[in-house]
């Protein structure tokens, strides 16, 4: 999600959009870099029966959702808000950066096809830069923080151990800034935020910041990549 200054309206096909695009092209972003390869977690959750969920935050949820929608074993990835109250879980309020929410994605997955550890490995490599504090690329504020919302002690342990493993191995030039917070609740975002990457593949923000993440997923995790995304609207259609 972008600030109102460089938001969706700024990317209309006008002179103003050219200025906005230029700004994004010079802003720092891991998305435009080469794939970042990291080791898999040494400890992972044991395979279980039935579907499981994971909630993570790593900057604008458009790209985070897009990556996991293209990941094998993921049944659904929903953009939303976590870390704050229900009364302020909406775009306008969260954009102010004062509600305590983070833009997050709720991932529903089949643990027989993809593990929680693999979800985290993708998260720490192609989804975002975990060393950035309260920002990702051109977006800044606590709503863009790097956070894993753990829903169980097992999730917390796997996440903590993995962060310690990566820090100990000095995988990154800087310490990981990712926090682990208990998942209190997850609030789905407005409909116009769902499946945004798929529906707006030519939007400049998506082109520069998010489509490279999909390409990196394909390069680094070829065995986990799926070409057809698991869209929210498709899941809704099957339940109606």
Task: Check if the beta carbon of residue 83 is closer than 8 Å to that of residue 187.
Answer: no
Instruction: Please name the helix (run of DSSP H) or strand (run of DSSP E) that holds residue 79, with its range, or none.
Output: strand 74-82
187 DSSP β-pair partners: 81
Cα of 30 vs its chain's centroid, Å? 13
Is 135 among the residues known to form the active site? no
Q: Rounded to an integer, what distance in angstroms lies between the CA atom of residue 197 and that of residue 207?
A: 9
Q: Give the HSE-up count for residue 210: Cα atoms under 13 Å, Cβ half-sphere.
A: 28
User: Reduced to 3 states, what is the DSSP secondary structure of residue 188?
Assistant: strand
76 DSSP β-pair partners: 108
Contacts of 184 (CB under 8 A, 6+ apart): 82, 83
From 1, 45, 56, 60, the catalytic residue: 60
Q: Which of 52, 58, 51, 72 minimizes the C-alpha distance to 154? A: 52
Catalytic center residues:
60
């Amino acid at each position: 999600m972008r600030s109102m200054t460089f938001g969706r309206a700024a990317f209309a096909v006008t002179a103003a959009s050219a200025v906005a695009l230029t700004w994004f092209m010079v802003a720092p972003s891991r998305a435009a870099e080469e794939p970042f390869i990291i080791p898999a977690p040494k400890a992972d959750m044991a395979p279980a029966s039935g579907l499981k969920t994971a909630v993570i935050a790593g900057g604008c949820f458009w790209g985070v959702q897009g990556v996991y929608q293209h990941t094998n074993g993921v049944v659904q990835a929903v953009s939303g808000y976590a870390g704050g109250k229900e009364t302020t879980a909406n775009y306008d309020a969260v954009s102010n950066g004062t509600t305590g929410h983070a833009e997050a994605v709720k991932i529903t997955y089949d643990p027989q096809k993809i593990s929680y550890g693999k979800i985290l490995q993708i998260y720490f490599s192609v989804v975002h830069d975990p060393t950035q504090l309260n920002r990702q690329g051109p977006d800044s504020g606590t709503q863009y923080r790097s956070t894993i919302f753990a829903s169980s002690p097992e999730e917390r342990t796997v996440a903590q151990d993995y962060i310690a493993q990566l820090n100990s191995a000095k995988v990154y030039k800087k310490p990981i800034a990712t926090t682990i917070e208990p998942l209190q609740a997850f609030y789905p975002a407005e409909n116009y935020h769902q499946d945004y990457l798929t529906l707006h593949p030519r939007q400049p923000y998506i082109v520069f910041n998010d489509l490279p993440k999909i390409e990196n997923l394909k390069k680094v995790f070829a065995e986990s990549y799926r070409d057809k995304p698991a869209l929210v609207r498709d899941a809704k259609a099957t339940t109606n």
